[in-house]
């Protein structure tokens, strides 16, 4: 009887889709395993753009070691988000947190800074007030390009070519109009999904796009639960 049960369990496991996690080596967290859907997001041009954005703005000009990027930061946040949700699920099972919920939180954590401009909050606090609606959009485009390359002329051509991508125009437009990087992050996330066919991949990992996309975007933007259009228990 036990042999039959064992064989049956092995058969069920063999039919389950195998998820191959990728390992990233981080100077703070060590080896981090990330879900393959997160890796697909990381490999998009929109996320790779974060490699060139300083996490601490111009602080590295004073503190030589403060050179880490929004790219490394976002991957670390996604890793910690998984552990945070895992801890909640283990200690508060009454919350009924599913693996789907966990994956949504990880995606939101990974994408929460997609809308940042060059030098992070310096861009919000000093650059944006100088580029208000009514000024030339072309001027704001050129200024952003120059600012992003000002301290590394070798990136100029690369930035110029990438900035031709529609997403760069999206982020510029929403920065000028909304002035909040969280809202720009949501817009970049939407554009990233469309340009890279991520919706199909999300469905392959059993996400319910009708509900889960709203949930992810609310997490990125910091939406209050009372404002959510998604029904909660």
What lies within 8 Å, CB to CB, of 214 at 6+ separation is: 228, 229, 230
Closest CA to 26 of 65, 77, 60: 77
Chain-centroid distance, C-alpha 12? 34
Distance CA 73, CA 78 (A): 9
Q: What angle do CA 162, 125, 138 make, to 5 degrees?
A: 40
| 121 annotated active-site | no
Which three-class secondary structure state does DSSP give residue 28?
Answer: coil
Contacts 24+ apart (CB under 8 A), 38-41: 38/78, 38/106, 38/107, 38/110, 40/196, 40/198, 40/201, 41/107, 41/110, 41/111, 41/192, 41/198
Catalytic option among 35, 112, 116, 181: 181
Pair 93, 86: CB distance under 8 Å? no
What lies within 8 Å, CB to CB, of 135 at 6+ separation is: none
Which positions are annotated as active-site residues?
181
């Amino acid at each position: 009887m036990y042999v039959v049960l064992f064989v049956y369990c092995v058969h069920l496991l063999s039919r389950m889709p195998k998820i191959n996690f990728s390992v990233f080596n981080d100077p703070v967290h060590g080896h981090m395993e990330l879900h393959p859907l997160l890796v697909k997001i990381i490999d998009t041009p929109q996320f790779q753009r974060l490699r060139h954005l300083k996490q601490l703005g111009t602080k590295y000009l004073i503190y030589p070691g403060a050179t880490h990027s929004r790219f490394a930061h976002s991957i670390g946040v996604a890793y910690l988000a998984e552990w945070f949700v895992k801890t909640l699920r283990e200690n508060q099972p009454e919350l009924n947190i599913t693996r789907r919920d966990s994956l949504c939180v990880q995606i939101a954590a990974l994408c929460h800074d997609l809308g940042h401009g060059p030098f992070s909050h310096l861009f919000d606090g000093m650059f944006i007030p100088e580029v208000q609606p009514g000024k030339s959009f072309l001027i704001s485009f050129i200024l952003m390009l120059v600012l992003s390359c000002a301290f590394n002329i070798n990136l100029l051509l690369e930035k110029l070519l990438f900035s031709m991508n529609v997403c760069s125009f999206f982020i510029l437009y929403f920065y000028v109009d909304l002035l909040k990087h969280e809202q720009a992050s949501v817009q970049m996330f939407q554009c990233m999904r469309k340009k890279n066919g991520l919706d199909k991949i999300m469905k392959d990992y059993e996400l319910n796009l009708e509900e889960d996309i709203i949930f992810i975007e609310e997490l990125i933007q910091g939406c209050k639960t009372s404002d959510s259009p998604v029904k909660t228990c």
